[in-house]
């Protein structure tokens, strides 16, 4: 499956609920972020360890946690 999303001015990747439902992504999930091809694409997949702390995620460098996007 491929989806196209744009990184916003705050460096966030907004994922519509429809995409999250299709992929089984929920708020709080830990995702692995990998550059693909010529770094113009980003591959996101669930990490096997979902109990990582925010500090452990930050130390890894290529992990992120799914957070709710606050609307203005």
> What is the value of pTM for the model shown?
0.81
Tens digits of residue pLDDT in 16-70: 889 899 989 999 999 999 988 776 788 889 999 999 999 999 999 999 999 987 7
Longest dimension (CA), the chain: 34
Rounded to whole angstroms, how far apart are CA atoms 52 and 58? 10
């Amino acid at each position: 499956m491929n989806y196209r999303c744009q990184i916003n001015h705050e460096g966030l990747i907004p994922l519509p609920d429809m995409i999250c439902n299709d992929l089984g992504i929920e708020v709080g999930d830990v995702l692995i972020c990998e550059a693909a091809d010529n770094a113009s694409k980003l591959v996101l997949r669930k990490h096997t360890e979902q109990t990582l702390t925010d500090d452990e995620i930050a130390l890894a460098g290529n992990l992120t946690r799914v957070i709710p996007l606050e609307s203005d």
